[in-house]
C-alpha cells in the first residue's frame, strides 16, 4: 500500500480527470491510499515549492522552479488552444496603455503571470489575488484591470467587463504551438515503477471520465467554484483534451519551448531545468 499526499485544485478540469482514481472507479490492481487536498493554483504552487505533496497540480511556470524535486507526468496536463489567460478591465483599454494600470494577477508563481511579464514586461503595478476574486476587485475599483484564468473566462462579459488581450492567442501566433498552462508533477524520489503507475492510472482515470460519464458527476460539481453546469462543461471542454490524456510530441514540445523562452526572457533560470523532465 502506498500512502501518497495528493494536491489538486477544485477546478472542474482537475476533478474531472481525477474523479475515477480518487473515488475508486478503476480496477487498477495496485495498492493506493491518496490523501487528497484541494487548493487554488497559487497555493498549490507554493506548497510544491516547499516540497510538501507527493503528487500535485502545478502551473507550468512553477514546475520549472521545482524540477530538482519533481517530474512531470505525461498525463493530466492543461494544455491546448484558445485556453490562455485574459487581461480584462471595466472600461476599454488598449495594450498600449496598460503599463501604468493597477493589475490584479492570480499569483506571481503562475503561468498566467509569467506570460504577462513575457509579453508585457513594462507592466509593474501588479497585486496578487485568488483567481475568483479578480472580477470583483475590478468592479470594486481596487484595481484597474485583471489577469483572469479558469472559470472566470466564461463569466467576465456577463459582469460588464471587457477583454483587453488574450495571452493564449499571442502565444499561439508567436510559436504555432498549444499553450501549456498546468501539469501534474510527482516527486522524483518515488520509485520509478510508482511514478509510471501513477501516470498510467491518471491516463485511465481521464479516459474513464470521457467514456463512462455522460453527465457532470457530483464530485466535479460539488467542488466547482461556480455551480453552473454550463460553465463547468465549458471549463472541462476547454482544458481537458487528447493532450491531457497523453502529452505526445507536440505537448512535450510546447512545454520545452515555454521553458526556453522564459529562460531567454530571464523569467526562469536555466539551471532550474533538471532532466529527465518527464516521467
Question: Which residue's entry shows cell 504577462?
Answer: 116
Choice among 24, 150, 223, 235 that is catalytic = 150
Name the maximum alpha-carbon separation found in the chain. 57
Q: What are phi and psi of 182, to 5 degrees?
A: -140, 160
- Among this protein's residues, is 150 annotated catalytic? yes
276 prior amide bond cis, ω within 30: yes
Q: What is the C-alpha to C-alpha distance for residues 80 and 172, in angstroms, rounded to an integer?
A: 10
What count of other Cβ atoms lies within 10 Å of the Cβ of residue 277?
18
Q: Hey, what's the cell of 186?
A: 510527482
Active site residues: 150
Amino acid at each position: 500500500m502506498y500512502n501518497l499526499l495528493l494536491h489538486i485544485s477544485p477546478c472542474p478540469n482537475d476533478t474531472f480527470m481525477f474523479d475515477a482514481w480518487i473515488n475508486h472507479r478503476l480496477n487498477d490492481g495496485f495498492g493506493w491510499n491518496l490523501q487528497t487536498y484541494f487548493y487554488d493554483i497559487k497555493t498549490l504552487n507554493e506548497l510544491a515549492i516547499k516540497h510538501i505533496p507527493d503528487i500535485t497540480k502545478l502551473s507550468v511556470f512553477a514546475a520549472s522552479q521545482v524540477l530538482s524535486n519533481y517530474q512531470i507526468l505525461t498525463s493530466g496536463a492543461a494544455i491546448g488552444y484558445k485556453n490562455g489567460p485574459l487581461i480584462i478591465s471595466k472600461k476599454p483599454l488598449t495594450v498600449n496603455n496598460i503599463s501604468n494600470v493597477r493589475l490584479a494577477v492570480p499569483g506571481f508563481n503562475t503561468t498566467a503571470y509569467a506570460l504577462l511579464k513575457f509579453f508585457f514586461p513594462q507592466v509593474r503595478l501588479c497585486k496578487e489575488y485568488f483567481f475568483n476574486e479578480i472580477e470583483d476587485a475590478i468592479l470594486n475599483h481596487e484595481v484597474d484591470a485583471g489577469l483572469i484564468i479558469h472559470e472566470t473566462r466564461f463569466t467576465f462579459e456577463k459582469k460588464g467587463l471587457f477583454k483587453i488581450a488574450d495571452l493564449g492567442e499571442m502565444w499561439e501566433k508567436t510559436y504555432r504551438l498549444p499553450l501549456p498552462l498546468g501539469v501534474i508533477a510527482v516527486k522524483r524520489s518515488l520509485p520509478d515503477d510508482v511514478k509510471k503507475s501513477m501516470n498510467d492510472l491518471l491516463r485511465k482515470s481521464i479516459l474513464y471520465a470521457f467514456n463512462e460519464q455522460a453527465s457532470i458527476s457530483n464530485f466535479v460539481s460539488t467542488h466547482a467554484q461556480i455551480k453552473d453546469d454550463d460553465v463547468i462543461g465549458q471549463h472541462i471542454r476547454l482544458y481537458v483534451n487528447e493532450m491531457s490524456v497523453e502529452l505526445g510530441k507536440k505537448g512535450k514540445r510546447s512545454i520545452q519551448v515555454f521553458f526556453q523562452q522564459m529562460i531567454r526572457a530571464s523569467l526562469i533560470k536555466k539551471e532550474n531545468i533538471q532532466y529527465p523532465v518527464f516521467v
